[in-house]
Amino acid sequence: MFKPNTYKGTRVFISGHTGFKGAWLAFWLNILGARVKGYALEPYTNPSLYNILDLENTIESEIGNILNSDKLNKSIRDFQPDIIFHLAAQPLVRQSYIDPVNTYETNVIGTLNVLEAARKCKSIKAFVNITTDKCYENIEKDYAYKETDKMGGYDMYSSSKACSEILSASYRNSFLKENGFLLATVRAGNVIGGGDWSNDRLVPDCIKAITTDKEIIIRSPKSVRPWQHVLEPLSGYLALGEQLLNGNKEFAQGYNFGPENTSVLTVEDIVKLVIKYYGQGNVVIKPDTNFHEACLLMLDITKAKTELNWHPKYNAEQAIEKTISWYKNYYSNTDMKIFTSKQIEEYM
């Protein structure tokens, strides 16, 4: 775990702060006393965690596209950050089948734009590029992927994130060896938590179905994934960022963040837990053969444990319980800024 005072007064730039993970990260850093600036497109869901947490008035927020290099350069240059957390992305597998060009432009060229803007800003000491567990070439065997395994990706989203990983390694070698900022990449499994209303994500789809009295439809009930609460990988990103800010060059590399093996469950198991903690819901299985989806995906988190002293705190059932509690409170008109703060405080 990182030291909470590490980020007090630190200038943190977050790309993608209007998304689910980005909003949680921005809100947490604000609690820690950081000066935070976010740069992203408008929230793409309604409701959105960004609006629920009133981040527009809580942190410095700029609406912009990472493909607009001039605007992005000015945003970073004007803010003069100490560290960048790069989360802006096209994050959905199914969307990458619909719009592969935008997926690649955003996830590869967009990442390059952020790296280039960072290189031109001399205040930056550290850069954390958030990719995905899907960046590995998935052989779909009973095997947990290590950071040294081959990058790949069957679908356009996964392969674009593998390209982002390769780009980061190449960029580090090409431009950052002498007096550059420290660049690391992070890969996390399936992340759940309150405030996610994205399409084609299991728990948000469950919540949408339950709150509208519809059936929960799942397409791959036996697919196995590493399920973790959003605060788990974010704590890892912050722990890694701490090391980079302290100038520890040996941490400028890739890291996996995921749950323990006991929290690697099937899609069907997760839906049953959602129904258990919400107290209602019916599930229907409707296979979708129109696109490929990996059946088995696991991460080896030994490196993060041994080098960063990072350990997951919640198992899958606890992660589901925390997530469903958030949504039930939201739909009961609870003050979600206070409730979200409490969940962060409980985790820390």
Total domain count for the chain?
1
Residues β-bridged to residue 2:
none
Q: Which residue has the tokens 């200038």?
A: 11
pLDDT of 330 reads 98
Q: How many CB atoms lie within 10 A of CB 69?
A: 16
CB count within 10 Å of CB 346 equals 10
CATH number at residue 321: 3.40.50.720
The residue behind tokens 């070698």 is 173
Distance between CA atoms of residues 129 and 199, nearest Å: 23
Give pLDDT, residue 75.
98
pLDDT at 316: 93
CB 79 within 8 A of CB 119: no
Contact 218, 267 (CB under 8 A): yes
Q: Report the pLDDT value the prediction gives residue 224, as an integer from 0 to 100.
A: 83
Helix (H, G, I), strand (E, B) or coil at 133: helix
Q: Are 181 and 126 in contact (CB under 8 A)?
A: yes
Residues 257 and 232: beta-carbon distance below 8 Å: yes
Query: Which DSSP string do the residues of 73-105 spell out, in sequence order?
Result: HHHHHHH--SEEEE--S---HHHHHH-HHHHHI
Residues 89-112 as b/e (b if ≥16 CB within 10 A, e otherwise) read: bbbbbebbeeebeebbbbbbebbb
User: pLDDT value at position 294?
Assistant: 57
Does 259 sit behind a cis peptide bond, omega within 30 degrees of 0 on the bond before it?
no
pLDDT at 291: 55
Report yes or no: 191 and 303 within 8 Å, Cβ to Cβ.
no
Answer for the pair 200, 92: CB distance below 8 angstroms, yes or no: yes
Domain ranges, residue 73: 4-347
Peptide bond into 312 cis (omega under 30): no
User: In whole angstroms, how far apart are CA 256 and each of 192, 226, 286?
Assistant: 16, 11, 32
pTM score above 0.75:
yes
Could you list the pLDDT tens digit for every one of the 348 residues in the chain?
Answer: 899 899 999 999 999 999 999 999 999 999 999 999 999 999 999 999 999 999 999 999 999 999 999 999 999 999 999 999 999 999 988 899 999 999 999 999 999 999 999 999 999 999 999 999 999 998 877 789 999 999 998 899 999 999 999 999 999 999 999 889 999 999 998 899 999 999 889 999 999 999 999 999 998 888 888 899 999 999 999 999 999 999 999 999 999 999 998 888 899 999 999 999 999 999 998 876 565 555 678 899 999 999 999 999 999 999 999 999 999 999 999 999 999 999 999 999
As a whole number of angstroms, the distance between CA 103 and CA 257 comes to: 23
